[in-house]
Amino acid sequence: MLHRKLPVAILGAASALALSLAPSAALASHGHHHGHNLIRANLTPSMPTDDPINGVPPGGAPWILQRGSVRVRDNGRMDVRIQGLQIPRNGGADNPIATIDAVLYCGGVMAAHSGPQQMSVPDGDARFRVFLTVPETCDSATVLIQPVLDPPVTVYIASAMAMADDED
């Protein structure tokens, strides 16, 4: 198994985190059949030394990732694919997180999220498609993969940031 550690890029100024947004399940119709990409990027695992993204700190353990990608279209469709998101320890690696939330930020502000989604333990695999209600414009789209923990802790364990060429 090949694991690569990748640094997380830094995104501009941190913004207030809207904690009260509920999961959005409705399809936003913008008149597009397939929609244009708000973001289409590979996920990068977090390291405890990474800077906060949109005011959200990285998780307290180093994460590794075999591969992962996220795509959010302006019609609200979000596709997330994760393979091997794990913590290296004791000469191996495993994933202790059974539930994650893929959170979309636009311009540094939380815009929508997938709601709780299953991730396999200990393999760290997840694959899901959800439909979000997305804003008409979404500058600097970012998706943070956040663990769903009890009690709740707001951290990210992987991230993806839109590049200038993400828009179709």
**Which of 2.60.120, 2.60.40, 1.10.3470, 2.40.390 would CATH assign to domain 37-166?**
2.60.40
pLDDT number for residue 30: 39
Ordered by start, the domain boundaries in the chain are 37-166
pLDDT number for residue 7: 30
Round to whole Å and give the CA distance between 28 and 68.
25
Three-state DSSP at 165 gives helix
What is the tens place of the pLDDT at every residue in 67-99? 999 999 999 999 999 999 999 998 999 999 999
Of residues 106 and 18, which shows the higher confidence score?
A: 106
pLDDT number for residue 24: 35
Compute the average pLDDT of residues 31-50. 86
> In the chain, at which residue ranges do the beta strands (DSSP E only) sit?
37-42, 44-45, 67-73, 77-83, 87-89, 92-94, 99-106, 109-113, 117-118, 126-131, 142-147, 158-161
pLDDT number for residue 34: 63
pLDDT number for residue 165: 54
pLDDT over 90 at 45, yes or no: yes
Q: What does pLDDT average to over the chain? A: 82
- Of 50, 128, 121, 57, which is closest to residue 84 (Cα–Cα)? 121
What is the tens place of the pLDDT at every residue in 106-127? 999 999 999 999 999 999 999 9
